[in-house]
Amino acid sequence: MDLLNYAFMQRALLAAVLVGITAPAVGIYLVQRRQALMGDGIGHVAMTGVGLGFLLSWSPVWMATAVSVLGAVLMELIRWYGRTRGDIALAMLFYGGMAGGVMFINLAPSGSNANLTSYLFGSLSTVSESDVTAICLLAAFVVLITLGLRRQLFAVSQDEEFARVTGLPVRALNLLTAVTAAVTVTVAMRVVGLLLVSALMVVPVAAAQQLSRSFAATFAIAVAIGVTVTIGGTVTSYYQDVPPGATIVLLTIGAFIALTALAAPLARRRARAAAGAGTATDPLECSIPAGRPSGDEVGV
């Protein structure tokens, strides 16, 4: 493949693989917590970090990481204490982050709307060596948290009250999930863009859930989908000269539609097989009605 002869494409493909791994790895916990749009909100806040990076002549990736983490912590605090005013506070945080990014980048001597657009929607040609270094370090943090603490994060995502009764530090784990999501947003912004990253965190998980009820299998399938669509979108963007972020998201949605269409007949076939096996082995009067899935089916 001739695209591998170019250093900028080598950097872009490496970043795409890391994004494909990290976004679904965090997204599966957000989907379980019913916070699918959290990544979108953090992306708005991260714009302020990008603008500050240009204004202060610091790395936009690292500055966006710092601002995103701060925004994620504020979002969790608002969720805990905001109550009736929480929605208003979150709206101010999200739109204030977007407005701050536009303002700061226009005040920066080297900033322009073109610079901001590359962070909003992704850009292959602008992924630098320093960006790749930052993305690698941040992705390693995300993978370490999402795999190393998967049992604890899954427990809190499923039922906070039960997790609290078992002695887990629920608030600390919620904060860690929010911080990890913020880091993932900044990992993905150079490839997918801040405004589209939430789709890559959520849609691969939703697609994987069409095929599996097991948390571990869903995690693995979602990551596989994420890596496939990010690489496919990056390669397509190079050859067809189309925006990488939009291409990746459209491929992700296409994967969801395809797996949804595939899952329906498979589910019917499994149901018929299970019904046939039950009829062959159990007397009619002793048949057991279907119940909730076992721990092995949804276990971590």
Q: What is the pLDDT of residue 205?
A: 94
Q: Check pLDDT > 50 for residue 288.
A: no
Looking at the chain, how many residues does it have?
300
Burial class (CB in 10 A: 0-12, 13-18, 19+), 240: exposed
Q: Check pLDDT > 50 for residue 13.
A: yes
pTM: 0.82
Band of residue 236 on the pLDDT scale cut at 50, 70, 90: very high
Give per-residue pLDDT as tens, 122-146: 887 778 888 889 899 999 999 999 9
CA distance 228 to 256: 13
Q: pLDDT: is 81 or 198 the higher one?
A: 198
Cβ contact 146:23 at 8 Å: no
Kindly give the residue spans of alpha helices, DSSP state H, lying in the chain. Answer: 7-32, 38-55, 60-81, 86-107, 113-121, 129-148, 150-158, 160-165, 170-188, 197-209, 215-240, 244-281, 295-298
Query: How far is Cα of residue 230 from the mean position of the Cα atoms in its chain?
Result: 12
Band of residue 222 on the pLDDT scale cut at 50, 70, 90: very high
Q: What is the pLDDT of residue 35?
A: 80
Structure tokens at 183: 């880091």
Q: pLDDT: is 92 or 228 the higher one?
A: 228
Question: Whole-angstrom distance between the N-terminal and C-terminal Cα of the chain?
Answer: 39
Burial class (CB in 10 A: 0-12, 13-18, 19+), 119: buried
Q: What is the pLDDT of residue 213?
A: 79
Band of residue 1 on the pLDDT scale cut at 50, 70, 90: low
